[in-house]
Every structure is written in structure tokens, then in C-alpha cells.
Structure 1
Amino acid sequence: MKIIIPMAGRGSRLRPHTLTIPKPLLPVSGKPIVQRIVEDLAEALDEPVEEVAFVIGDFGAEAEAQLQEIAAKVGAKCSIYTQDIPHGPGHAILCAKPSLSGNCIVAFADTLFKANFSFDPKEDGIIWCQKVEDPSSFGVVKTDENNVITEFVEKSPTFVSDLAIVGLYYVRDGERLRDTLQHMVDNDIRDKGEFQITTALELLKNNGVKFRSAQIEEWLDCGNKDNVVATNRRMLQLKQDKEKLVADSVTLDNAVIIPPCFIGENTVIRNSVVGPHVSLGHNSTVEQSVISDAVIQNDTVVRHANLSHSMLGNKVDYEGNKSEISIGDYSEYK
């Protein structure tokens, strides 16, 4: 099995946090979003992951090294491809052309999922979906009584279906998907100005490929600050009995941690209450503060604060009394 992860987007809605770090590498409950996607899929699949192919923008050597480590942790080969110009999700997948062969899962690095990922790899394809109240901003599918997909539609202003595609796909024949995407690019077949994955899937369906829809249990968005904080909260709840979330090297001095929380290595908490639902990165310090429902990254200092529903980046020096704030890397607030 191969996992293809398109992740070249700019993450504009998450600025200032994505000015210095690609969105898929932002931490949720102590691990980068994309690492959680890879590990959760690898754990759920019935066969080993042979390769993880990342499609990125100009992320730099440090980010690429992180991606190499993420693939290595699941015992997979790492391939990294670059999408220089954003021409849509279908084009992003095609950027991983050399890796599109055999059984492939395509997972966009915008969301985390709670789902039963077990399936028969002999099926032609699986498209994971969820019902939504307003489907106008999503690609959707129509299905028959057996959950076989009869139509793929990209972001229709008129109602077609409330079964939204969540950005997770399985195809048994990666070469056939590759060739269909190449055909679209060669013939400039676009929808809403871009090369869409839904167009490729519709073309494959019309040529005899049978896709089945599968429901996910939860769809955890990471598109903006509020959603990242909410997803961090939910992931801490889901992982508290499965992962070691508080490092042994944490120093507590007249301090209380209210679980579930992720507390990183060599973190110091003095005269403070941290939790519930806080991710506090490595080598950070919290003093004279009360923090809940927050994501705070590495090497950050927080003093005399009462924070909730907040995000602080790496190497932030924060001292203040705001109840909710969002600060990017290398910032000082006093």
C-alpha cells in the first residue's frame, strides 16, 4: 500500500502560524497533523505501508527532514515531490506521478479523521464521506442503495447531495488514476478553473471503475485557529489512553496538570494550572498562569496569563492577561 499526501497549500487561514511552518506540520496533541494522518492510516490498514509520498511547496530542508522521519516511523520509503504552481487537487496528486502505482490511498493533509479504515483492497475504490448541512462548498457524491457511487460533483451551488467527500480516497489501480489525471492535464480538462480529483474519479467511473462510499465517524478540521484548538481537544480525548502524553522530564513546581494534556520534554510548569485540553510543546515554561484549551508550541515562555482557546507558536515570550490570543513564531507580547 502507498499513501499519497498532497500538502502544498499555503494555509492562509491559519496565519500567522503558517508563515514559518507549513500547516500540515503544525502540532495537534503533540504530533504534526500529517504525522497523525500517516500513523493512524498505517495502524488501521491490514497491510504494510510501502511508501509515503508527500507533495509539498517550497517548505525547506528542515520540513523535508521531518517528513522523512514521519515515513520512517511507519517503516515506509519516503518520496517528496514539489507542486510549484497550484493548479488544483488533481494536479497536486499527479505531481506524485512516479509513486502512483498499485494500491494507493490519497489523503489530503487538511483534516484528521476518526473512522473504521478496514476495507477489502480488491475493491476498485473507496471514497470516504460524511453528511453535512451545507454541501455547497464541498465535492459530493450520489450513491445507490448499495453505497456504490453514481456521480461525483465538485462544489455545486445547487443541491445535488449532502454526502461530502472528506479528502480521503483509496484506488486499487494507481496507474489508472495517474493516466486519467495526465489525460486531464494534457487536454486541459478543468472544473472551476482547476484540475479536480472529482473530475478524475467521474472519468474513471464512466470507464467502468466501481467506487463505493464509506462513512467516517468524525471529521476533525484543521483549517483555522478555532478548528485546530477544537481538533487538539478531541485528539487529546481520543489518545489519552493510547499514548504517553506527559513526558517524564516535565518539572512541576507547585503546579497542577488537569488531563488530558500533552506536555513535552523538558517543560517547566511553576505555580500554575495547565489543562484540560492543552498541548504544551518541548522546552517550554509556564509560570503564574492558568491555561486551558490551547495549543502552545516549543521553546515558548508564558507568564502571568489566564489563557483559553488560544494558539502560541514556537519561541514566543508571552506575558499578559488576554483570555484568548493567537501569536505566531518568534513573537514577544508583554
Structure 2
Amino acid sequence: MLKAVILVGGSQKGTRFRPLSLDVPKPLFPVAGRPIIQHHIEACVRLKELKEILIIGYYAQSEMEQFVNDMQSLYNVNIRYLQEFTPLGTAGGMYHFRDQISIGNPKAFFILNGDVCADFPLQALHDYHMSREGKAMITIMSTEATRQQAVHYGCLVFDKDNGSVSHYVEKPSSYVSTFINCGVYVCSTEVFNLMSSIFHSRQLEYHGFGNGHNGRDQGHIQWEQEVLTPLAGTGKLFALPVNNWWSQIKTAGSAIYANRHYLELYRKTHPERLANAGTKEIGDGDGSLICTIYPDVYIHPTASVHPTAHLGPNVSIGPGVSIGPGVRIRESIILENAVIKDHTLILHSIVGRGSNIGCWARVEGTPSDPDPNKPFAKMDNPPLFNKEGKLNPSITILGCFVNVPSEKILLNSIVLPHKELSRNFKNEIIL
């Protein structure tokens, strides 16, 4: 059998995702109508031999419990959330719960970082790992970036004939390779022997320094620096380069690009989720409303959309959303119970849960990726501020329960939750 581990971190992480993560844990933020890590789960359950999915992080159990229960009832596989008692690094949590992962003697297990989005080729990754004839302890899913982008990721050098990784560096200070780590792995349980030696070395350091090494818990282990880097060159670390779509969700703005690609992926995996027709019946209970759709668009069945609205491309409409007459929305995510009133324009924006946009308002962002076909543009996570300290042109983000009055303009701005705007804003953060 196979298992999968999804690493989600905790509330102290994902600060660049604010204000969207202030009212919902980042792993549960909806992209293309589904929580981010539900896309991971859907990829995992397509594997016939997979019997269990373990979600590891240090969010409170109460924050994840309802989601896990919903997933458990939706998919025919055992799904559990394992809460770390303290942040243990990218590998410490896996080592802490090694018995839970190893129980049942899986022939291999997957590791998926919770902040990556992809057309996960898990079956191909597994088959490649097993084809190494028992030599592979870890196989990394890899993709190729530009020289400029690669230094922001884990870079690896590998033999293109047999996939053996000879060198691995996490976020190098200078160019190493254009092939990068996607944060998706398949491992044999032998890896826990390696982690054990790292853990015992950490204990010696911990007791030697008296109060912990560099202020870290003695169970804190970094997967990339302490496992992958020393394993490179030993003949036990392999890489499979793929051309599948892949990106990270680090900043709130990157959710828009993930939304675009997951909607496109639905054409192949879940076409029934898309409202992709010239016109489409949109339910407000009786299915009688018709609005104009420019593919790809996801609309929750409980949303109410006026027949004169124009939606798309690349738009997701959440549950309970109300969209009035003449509204135009493109390249945006509208979250649960938001109200978009008559003749409002929303471009390259995320509208938070329960927010209210008045009539004839304009909510607009400036995409950092104007050309969706530009090579590897999908990986861009631009910083919040540029070198001059000014807010970068980016998408506009409204936190939950924000009120934008009628006829107001909001451009390239971020609004924290529960704000009542009284004027126009451009390139500002409204605290």
C-alpha cells in the first residue's frame, strides 16, 4: 500500500498570505472553489494503492477538524490530522509522527508541501521511484525555471540518464542549476533511519548548548538542508523532471494564478465544476438565471448571479455570493457571502468573505504576469514592496467584511478585515 503526507505548517507561517489567512487557515483558503490542500487530496486519492493521507502541521485541531471530517466522508480513504506540539521544521513533524506514517508497512509514501499547486503526476513519480531498483530513498519532483528564478528555490544537479542527484542547494546565493525542487516527493520508509541519526545529533547539540541549538527545539529538523543536501551524491536521491503545471502559493496574489491554472485543469479532471458555456444557468434556487460566461469560470451552486452579469475568464465565485445586474468580473476570486452590487467592475482582485461592494464601484489590480503564456510566469511571487519601498503593482485584496461604498475606486491596494472605506485608494495598504 501507499500513504501520503501533506505538510501544512501553522498559523505562525504564511504571513505573506495575509490578510487572506487572518480568518481562515492558509491551507483551507479556497482556490478554484476548493481548499488549497483539497487539490492535494484529490490527486492522492486517484492512486489506487493509496490507503491513508496524513496532514501534519501545528494549526490547532479545532481549525482543521471540520475540514478533515468533510474530506473523510467525501473520499474513500482514511484521512487524519496530526498536530505538532511545537513547530518542528519541514522534517521534524514527519519524524515525530514516523510511527503513524510507517504503520501498515507502506512500500512508499508521498510528501507534498501544502503551499504548492500543481497537476500532481503522483503515479508517474511513484513508478519512476520504484524503477530505481531499490536504490532510491527519496525521489524529488523537479521542474525547470529560468536562471533568475531558480535561486529562489531548492536547486539540484542530476544525471539526466538515470536521475541520480549529485548536488542539492536550498536557495543558493548564486546560480547552481535551472532545475528546481517542486516540494513533492516519494520516499521509502528507510528515510526515517536517516532522520533518526539527525535527531540524535540534534540532541547532542541541544544538551551541549544547554538551552537548545540556535534556540530551536531538539526535534527541529529541516528537510531540505539536513536531509536532501547531505543525501545528494550518495546514490539514494533521485529527481524526476516534469513539464506539468506547477507553482507555489506564498503571497496572496499568487492565489490568482493558481486559480487560473486549477480552473484550466478542471477541463480535464472535473469538467462538471465549470460554468463553461456562452451562457450558463446559474442557480439561485430555481436555476432560472442566465449570465454570460467567458471560460474558465467556477460558480458555487448557492451563488446568485444576475442574468446581465459577465464573468470570466478565470473567475471563482464562492458559496452564498450575490452578484447584481451589469457586474463585470475577470481574473478574480469572490469569497463566501460577498455582495457585488449593480454595474461594479472587478479585475485581478480577491474579495474577502462577507465583503460588500457598492454600485458602480471599481476594484482593480495590476497583474505582475500580464502574459499568461510567458515561460514560467506562473512561478512568480513578487514581493509586497519594491526597492523604493512603494507597494508593488499587484492584485487588489479585500479582507473579510470590508465595505466599499458605491462609485468608489480601489486600485492595487490591500484592505484589512472589517474596514469601511470612505474614499478612493490607489497603491495603499488600508490598516
Q: How far apart are 1:113 and its partner, in Å?
A: 1.3
Q: Does 1:286 align with 2:323?
A: yes
Whether the 8 Å contact between 2:282 and 2:289 is mirrored in structure 1 is no
Q: Distance in 2 between matches of 1:111 and 1:51?
A: 20
SS in 2 for 1:5: strand
Percent identity for Structure 1 against Structure 2: 19
Q: Which moved more, 1:317-326 or 1:300-309?
A: 317-326
Which residue of structure 2 lines up, in the alignment, with residue 197 of structure 1? 223
Q: Distance in 2 between matches of 1:197 and 1:17?
A: 27
SS in 2 for 1:232: helix
Q: After the TM superposition, which residues 124-163 of structure 1 pair with which residues of structure 2 at under 5 Å, given as runs?
A: 124=136, 125-133=138-146, 134-146=149-161, 147-163=163-179
Q: Distance in 2 between matches of 1:210 and 1:14?
A: 32
Which residue of structure 2 lines up, in the alignment, with residue 323 of structure 1? 364
Please, what TM-score do these two structures have when normalized by structure 2? 0.70
Larger Rg: 2
Which residue of structure 2 lines up, in the alignment, with residue 314 of structure 1? 353
Q: Distance in 2 between matches of 1:68 and 1:90?
A: 25
Whether the 8 Å contact between 1:115 and 1:216 is mirrored in structure 2 is no
Q: Distance in 1 between matches of 2:310 and 2:160?
A: 52
Whether the 8 Å contact between 2:165 and 2:235 is mirrored in structure 1 is no
How many residue pairs are counted as aligned between the two chains? 329
SS in 2 for 1:18: coil
Q: How far apart are 1:212 and its partner, in Å?
A: 3.6
Which residue of structure 2 lines up, in the alignment, with residue 35 of structure 1? 38
Q: Does 1:113 align with 2:94?
A: no
Whether the 8 Å contact between 1:11 and 1:22 is mirrored in structure 2 is no
Which residue of structure 1 lines up, in the alignment, with residue 296 of structure 2? 260
- Of 179, 184, 188 in structure 1, the residue corresponding to residue 193 of structure 2 is 179
Which residue of structure 2 lines up, in the alignment, with residue 4 of structure 1? 5
Q: Deviations over 1:212-263 (max 9, x none)?
A: 4332422122222321111111211221354222587623646323222110
Please, what TM-score do these two structures have when normalized by structure 1? 0.88
SS in 2 for 1:240: helix
Q: After the TM superposition, which residues 86-105 of structure 1 pair with which residues of structure 2 at under 5 Å, given as runs?
A: 86-101=87-102, 102=106, 103-105=108-110
Q: How far apart are 1:74 and its partner, in Å?
A: 3.4
- Of 294, 309, 320 in structure 2, the residue corresponding to residue 272 of structure 1 is 309
**Cα 1:145–1:236, aligned 2, differ >3 Å: closer, same or farther?**
closer
**Cα 1:241–1:115, aligned 2, differ >3 Å: closer, same or farther?**
closer
**Cα 1:239–1:254, aligned 2, differ >3 Å: closer, same or farther?**
closer
Q: Deviations over 1:51-79 (max 9, x none)?
A: 11111223452532202332443322122
Q: Does 1:168 align with 2:184?
A: yes
Q: Distance in 2 between matches of 1:195 and 1:66?
A: 27
Whether the 8 Å contact between 1:8 and 1:83 is mirrored in structure 2 is no
Q: Distance in 1 between matches of 2:77 and 2:52?
A: 5
Higher relative contact order (CA 8 A, sep 6+): 1
Which residue of structure 2 lines up, in the alignment, with residue 250 of structure 1? 283
Q: Distance in 2 between matches of 1:326 and 1:300?
A: 13
One-letter code aligned to 2:245: E
Unaligned runs of 5+ in 1: none
Q: Distance in 1 between matches of 2:183 and 2:402?
A: 34
**Cα 1:206–1:246, aligned 2, differ >3 Å: closer, same or farther?**
closer
Computed over aligned residues only, the root mean square deviation of the Cα atoms, in angstroms, reads: 2.6
**Cα 1:313–1:276, aligned 2, differ >3 Å: closer, same or farther?**
same
Q: Which moved more, 1:305-314 or 1:218-227?
A: 218-227
Q: Distance in 1 between matches of 2:289 and 2:76?
A: 39
Q: Deviations over 1:86-134 (max 9, x none)?
A: 3421223334323332311000011111253324253433210112223
Q: How far apart are 1:163 and its partner, in Å?
A: 1.3
Whether the 8 Å contact between 2:25 and 2:63 is mirrored in structure 1 is no
- Of 241, 246, 249 in structure 2, the residue corresponding to residue 222 of structure 1 is 249
Unaligned runs of 5+ in 2: 206-212, 276-280, 366-395, 406-431
One-letter code aligned to 2:14: G
